[in-house]
């Protein structure tokens, strides 16, 4: 099964960019993947994301840290547009997400979180993710918040695929 890179978007974290390690690595695997730069507040970033994704569907969203929060928020708002959501140490503990009490969605979600993440606690993220995503596959890996070691160990075709 071929995955259309033009329907994959990587949403980087707070201090990340389209030139970060994850972006470079994933562009190597999927030339044509969308890796926009996001700046500003979460609301400004979400507005940019809405503009980029438009009303299209079939998106495979990869979100890292704050980008994971954005991917989760987008998926909760538009579950019909998202084919798969991959979260890398997502900042689901963000008050704006939790306080909004997102409705559970059945979009397939794969979540990787490092057991040595000192920025975002894995237990809290898991508990939130299990409430919001009814079709969740959760991996706690021996890594820190950046997940740079795990990045290269993930079977990306399988993770982004329909299985």
**Residue 26 near residue 35, CB atoms below 8 Å:** yes
pTM of the model: 0.97
pLDDT of residue 112: 98
What does the alpha-carbon distance between residue 2 and residue 16 come to, in Å, rounded to a whole number? 28
What does the alpha-carbon distance between residue 107 and residue 116 come to, in Å, rounded to a whole number? 27
Structure tokens at 29: 């695997």
Question: Considering all CA atoms of the chain, what is the largest pairwise distance in Å, rounded to the nearest integer?
Answer: 39
**Burial environment of residue 5 by CB neighbours within 10 A (0 to 12, 13 to 18, 19 or more):** middle
**Per-domain boundaries in the chain:** 5-160
pLDDT of residue 8: 97
Structure tokens at 86: 């991959």
pLDDT of residue 92: 97
For the chain, list residues with pLDDT below 50.
none
Total H helices, total E strands in the chain? 7, 5
Residues 6 or more apart whose CB falls under 8 angstroms from that of 140 comprise: 113, 114, 115, 122, 126
CATH superfamily of 5-160: Alpha/Beta hydrolase fold, catalytic domain (3.40.50.1820)
């Amino acid at each position: 099964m071929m995955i259309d890179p033009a329907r994959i978007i990587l949403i980087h974290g707070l201090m990340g960019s389209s030139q970060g390690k994850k972006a470079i690595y994933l562009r190597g695997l999927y030339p044509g993947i969308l890796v926009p730069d996001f700046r500003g507040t979460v609301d400004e970033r979400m507005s940019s994301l809405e503009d980029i994704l438009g009303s299209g569907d079939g998106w495979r969203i990869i979100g890292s840290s704050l980008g994971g929060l954005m991917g989760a928020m987008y998926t909760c708002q538009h579950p019909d547009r998202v084919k798969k959501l991959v979260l890398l140490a997502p900042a689901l503990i963000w008050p704006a997400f939790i306080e909004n009490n997102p409705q559970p969605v059945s979009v397939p979600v794969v979540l990787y979180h490092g057991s040595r993440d000192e920025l975002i606690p894995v237990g809290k993220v898991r508990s939130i993710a299990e409430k919001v995503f009814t079709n969740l596959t959760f991996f706690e890996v021996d890594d820190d918040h950046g997940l740079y070691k795990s990045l290269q160990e993930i079977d990306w075709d399988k993770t982004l695929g329909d299985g």
